[in-house]
Amino acid sequence: MKIAIVGATGMVGNVILEIIKERNFHFDELFLVASKSSIGRKIDFLNKTYDVIGIEEALLHVPDIAIFSAGGETSLKWAPKFSEIGTTVIDNSSAWRMDNSKKLIIPEINGSSLGAGDKIISNPNCSTIQMLMVLAPIHEKFKIKRVVVSTYQSVTGSGVKALNQLNNEYNGKKGEMAYNYPIHQNVIPHCDDFLPNGYTKEEMKLSNETHKILDSNIKVSATAVRVPVIGGHSESINLTLSNSFEISNIIQLLSNIPGLVLKNDSASLEYPMPLFSKGKDDVFVGRIRKDFSEKNSLNLWVVADNLRKGAATNTIQIAEYLIEKKILN
């Protein structure tokens, strides 16, 4: 089993290596791939020192799986080259997500749709993954009509530059800005680029990816906000369902879903927070309550580490699924 990680020196790439180690993910050969500026850099991993190589060299090794976390342009250019030689690509960028010929996969929800012909597999947006982990079982039983979601997204979703900006501002230092405004002691209602319809790309991802993965009939309205947090993304979600329900039904349903952790005890002040999600693979859900202003509606609060289940963990889970089900050629 030959594995290539494209973007191995980046923030998500580092987390992928952590998860490979934690989950004892099997490989015989590992190729750590990065941009030209990082070629030759040495990375110690699992009692071995690896030399970072360029993507052209990685292609020559014909890996069985290539995990891409190097941005959309790299994925658009190189993922087809890898797929043409028989490599299965799992891509973390937005490059292929809305391509009708590519699967958009959260293993717990639609992993069973994968087949040997899927040579480029797309990893959904981090905010979509954690939201749909909660919505999928609810939709299956009660049929969701409408979703209104507001996100509170960690600076880690913008990469190292944004993390450095927050730390610099916290320490009173001047430095390179990832955002148009200070993020320390501020919230910025702007994630990704604005579109002509007034929404940002991040907001439309929540809508479009929900339609592709879950159900095109679900109405989705999103507002994405950047907050000065490191531990993960949070989401306030309001759902309107087709079928009547009791809150006890929702709680019981969500308490038995692999990958979900219920933190829903207001009497004990137990609810999900990024403070406790950091470094964990689960999606946390709580503050589950009826919306008394609308029929068949409820509110939830969902938190997850965006670098793990929102990115790195989900890609490794896809790889594990491909191997377990013997889908690879």
Q: Check 126, 139, 184, 191 and give the catalytic one.
A: 126
Residues contacting 105, CB < 8 A, separation 6+? 111, 113, 114, 121, 122, 123, 124, 314, 318
Strands (E), the chain: 2-6, 29-33, 42-45, 48-51, 65-68, 88-91, 103-104, 120-122, 144-153, 219-226, 233-241, 260-262, 283-290, 297-304
- The 10 Å CB-count burial string (b at 16+, else e) for 11-42 is bbbbbbbbbbeeeebebeebbbbbbeebeeee
Asked about 233 being catalytic, the answer comes back as yes
* Distance between CA atoms of residues 298 and 249, nearest Å: 12
User: Sign of dihedral through CA atoms 294, 296, 302, 308?
Assistant: negative
* Distance between CA atoms of residues 186 and 178, nearest Å: 14
Q: Check 190, 191, 211, 233 and give the catalytic one.
A: 233
Q: How far apart are the first and last CA of the chain?
A: 11
Nearest C-alpha neighbor of 312 from the set 48, 46, 91, 118? 91
Q: Cite the active site residues.
A: 126, 233
